[in-house]
Amino acid sequence: MVKKIQLALDRMTKKECIYYIDETKDFIDYIEIGTGVIKEYGMNIVKEIRETYPSIKIIADMKTCDAGKSETEQAINSGANISTVMGFSNINTIKETLDAANTLGGEMLIDLLGISSKEQVTSIYDIGARKFCMHIGKDMQSKGEQLFTSMFDLVDDLTDVTVFAAGGINEVNIKNLKGLPIDTFIVGSGIASADNPRKAAENIKKIVSEF
């Protein structure tokens, strides 16, 4: 399977979002509109980015943990292809997000931030989830935590799943992730904080193409 790159846009202005998309669009597969950006601008920014970039897949990082149907409908109806739901949510909430996304022709990405129970992940898989994100959050990164091999044990015996990974990935440390069952590498500041965002995205794309 061809490895993919997801550009994560968060903690930035709308103008900055557009700048980073324009700089990297030749090398990315997904645009992630981050939770902070959505909280700042509402669903209008999802709509605007969809209109401006009609061919790129958009992930709305809603981080839904309740009101699953409503929030998923907001995201998909605004132009997102994929919305996110937290894996620690009540199983009924996760089921509602999956059902709503399927009805509207979208998909759900299950964020496994804070999840360490394989049984919990399997129960989510059993109701139809097929996209999972291994996630080391910003606050965890600030304490030195990084993506580690055993995290992926959570999904190692699940079939037909797509695995995303987020957690301080950049063009230097991404090489340490070679061999892990990651389908999509989520990169935020590793591109946005680079001296040359376009070149950083190009380098990351080249590295993962050789995995």
Give pLDDT, residue 141.
66
- 3-class DSSP assignment, residue 50: helix
The gap from C-alpha 24 to its chain's centroid, in whole angstroms, comes to 16
Element (DSSP H or E) covering residue 48: helix 44-52
Give pLDDT, residue 8.
98
Give pLDDT, residue 32.
98
How far apart are the C-alpha atoms of 92 and 68, rounded to whole Å? 8
How far apart are the C-alpha atoms of 58 and 209, rounded to whole Å? 21
How far apart are the C-alpha atoms of 158 and 169, rounded to whole Å? 24
Of 178, 187, 190, give the one whose Cα is nearest residue 30.
Answer: 187
How far apart are the C-alpha atoms of 155 and 137, rounded to whole Å? 19
CATH number at residue 28: 3.20.20.70
Number of domains making up the chain: 1
Give pLDDT, residue 152.
94
The domain in which residue 81 lies consists of 4-209
Give pLDDT, residue 157.
94
Give pLDDT, residue 1.
79
Work out whether the CA dihedral 132, 159, 121, 97 comes out positive or negative.
Answer: positive
Per-residue pLDDT in tens (0 to 9) along the chain, 211 residues: 799 999 999 999 999 999 999 999 999 999 999 999 999 999 999 999 999 999 999 999 999 999 999 999 999 999 999 999 999 999 999 999 999 999 999 999 999 999 999 999 999 999 999 999 998 867 666 666 677 788 999 999 999 999 999 989 999 999 999 999 999 999 999 999 999 999 999 999 999 999 9
